[in-house]
Amino acid sequence: MTTAIHPTPTRLRALRGLFIGFLAFTAFVLSAAFVLSAAFLLAQPVHAQGKPGELRIGIQKSSALHTLQRATGSLQKKLQPLGVTVKWVEFPAGPQLLEGLNVGAVDVGYVGEAPPIFAQAAGAQFVYIGNDPASPRAEAIVVRKDSPIQSVAELKGKKVALNKGSNVHYLLARLVEKAGLKLSDLQVVYLPPADARAAFESKNVDAWVIWDPFLAAAEKQIGARVLADGTGAVNNHQYYLAQRDYAAKNPQVIQALFAASVEDGEWLKAHLKQAAAQIAPLQGLPVEVVELALQRQAFNVKPITPAVAADQQRIADTFFELKLIPKAIQVSDAVLVEAKH
């Protein structure tokens, strides 16, 4: 069953008590959502074109690698020999980024597993061009440190908060299935991350399913205990998407984007503390939170393989079975032709 949590004095006090930097990050993201959504709806024609020689990249503030590339200009240096400049366009979350890609506001975007599935089901025009390696530990079910719950099976009848239609929705579905339960055996509460954390802290929900860096923040700041992460249940890939025409016409730009991202990702993993110190103030999060999140992420973009597409198809099929998307889709229809081989 699905329930809703209404504002209470306890919940409001919990929200005020959240770490200031974390809230500042969330407030920034939400304000960006309003500005960008308004801009796209009022100013962007469908299939708008960027400037010649400009690569417009849609990112989310939580994307550590792109935050670093944006700050250092490393990607711009890689693209300079091709006569291409970079324009970074920030989005609050994957669904808004996909909308920007669909209306032609960006050429390339970087999102998790779930948003492309919802976008494809809604008829959005895009193509998968690559993916980062699996990062199953970067999302998890957490409980409070003093919670008596010790296993996923013990969530039966409990209130579990998550962001509807996100990667963690699939994670919860897989984990409860492994525990011999169904989602209907739980009281699933749909809340965005900031509200979910408030409900979690004020004990209005029993567990929370969340991804990094929110996961890392909950562990470091309030001592949340990981009940189960994605290990052995999900892959948690991150995807590079593009307008189909752009990807087909600009293979050298895509290759340079991949090469720069692999190189920067290798540097990041080899200099984790230094990278976290650079990224943390840009994300508005404590260094130790960013460092923990980076430890669980992989950066080494590759073209989409049949195995990765099949994994994404399983998620799409699950979402259709759960009636989260209105129709069945074929992920392979949205995979760049060159990447299928």
Q: Is the pLDDT of residue 179 over 90?
A: yes
What's the rounded mean pLDDT across residues 228-250? Answer: 94
13/227 Cα distance (integer angstroms): 26
Across the range 31-58, mean pLDDT stands at 54
Average pLDDT over all residues of the chain: 85
Contact 241, 98 (CB under 8 A): yes
Which residues lie below 8 Å from residue 39, measured CB to CB, with a gap of 6+?
none
With H, G, I as helix, E, B as strand and everything else as coil, classify residue 162. Answer: strand
What are the pLDDT digits (tens) for 274-325?
Answer: 999 999 999 899 999 999 999 999 888 999 999 999 999 999 999 999 888 9
Confidence of residue 42 (pLDDT cuts 50, 70, 90): very low
pLDDT band at 4 (very low <50, low <70, confident <90, very high): very low
In this prediction, residue 52 carries a pLDDT of 65
Q: Which distant-in-sequence residues (6+ apart) come within 8 Å of 239 by Cβ?
A: 110, 111, 112, 113, 116, 128, 130, 131, 132, 312
Tokens for 83, please give them: 């006569």
pLDDT at 166: 81
Contacts of 245 (CB under 8 A, 6+ apart): none
- Report pLDDT for 61: 79
Q: What is the pLDDT of residues 133-154, one digit of tens each?
A: 999 999 999 999 999 999 999 9
pLDDT at 29: 38
Share of the chain above pLDDT 90, in %: 71
